[in-house]
Amino acid sequence: MSACTDESTARALVVRTARSLFTRGLTHGSTGNLSVRLADGTLLLTPTGSSLGTVEEGQLSRTDVHGKHLDGPRPTKEAFLHAAFYRARPGAHAVVHLHSTHAAAVSCLDGVNPADALPPLTAYYAMRVGKLPLLPYHAPGDSSLEPLAERTARTHHAVLLANHGPVVAGASMEQAADAIEELEETAKLHLLLRGHATRPLTPEQAAALASPSS
């Protein structure tokens, strides 16, 4: 999806992706939120308190790129994170935030490298995610995280929020969803392999696979 996609197509895409993530257990209850950037620069987001398993096309919220609510239901309380990523990444047209189990578990571990929370265990992780900064804990909806999120998003299209979960931006909704799913699977591998000697990709191998992100 690009910024020129019409709004009705964008709404359908958000709901279709939300259903896919929910039904496959990548989010639960009323956790997680998705957004797309429209051709006019405004954002469509899932609303606060909604479940990705039941949200409907007509229930999406609209904000500007600074998080100001324009119309529709009240947006997710983490709308400021989405806005921060879009401001930092002009090529981003979708943002996905989940509380996926294994990524959230990694975000709770002591001793995680704040510069890169997960090792590049697989080639697809290196290609779709790359380095994953761990941002310090803030309560959900705490907008004091916004400046740090925006600064970090200028150089990283994916971050992990401490004791919370991942946020990923993409040039398309498909790209963002694929990347956050790859992140979740790598977090699962990382936890399964704890206590075992591992052989991650070397920095050179990972760099060779890295592609320009949105």
Question: From first to last of its 214 residues, what are the pLDDT tens digits of the chain?
Answer: 455 469 999 999 999 999 999 999 999 999 999 999 999 999 999 999 999 999 999 999 999 999 999 999 999 999 999 999 999 999 999 999 999 999 999 999 999 999 999 999 999 999 999 999 999 999 999 999 999 999 999 999 999 999 999 999 999 999 999 999 999 999 999 999 999 999 999 999 999 998 765 5
Are 36 and 13 a contacting pair, CB within 8 Å? yes
> Which residue of the set 78, 146, 150, 181 is catalytic?
78
**66/151 Cα distance (integer angstroms):** 15
- Provide the whole-model pTM: 0.95
| Known active-site residue 146 | no
Report the SS3 class of residue 97: strand
DSSP per-residue letters across 184-195: HHHHHHHHHTTT
Single-letter amino acid code for the residue at 140? P
The domain covering 7-209 belongs, at the CATH homologous superfamily level, to Class II aldolase/adducin N-terminal domain (3.40.225.10)
How many helices (H) does the chain have, and how many strands (E)?
7, 8
185 is catalytic: no
Structure tokens at 28: 């639960």
Rounded Cα distance, 192 and 121, in Å: 12
- Amino acid in position 101: T
Residue 110 contacts by C-beta under 8 Å, 6 or more apart in sequence?
none
Helices (H), the chain: 7-23, 79-88, 101-108, 123-128, 146-153, 173-192, 203-209
Rounded CA gap, 44 and 67, in Å? 11
Query: Which member of 7, 124, 181, 204 is catalytic?
Result: 124
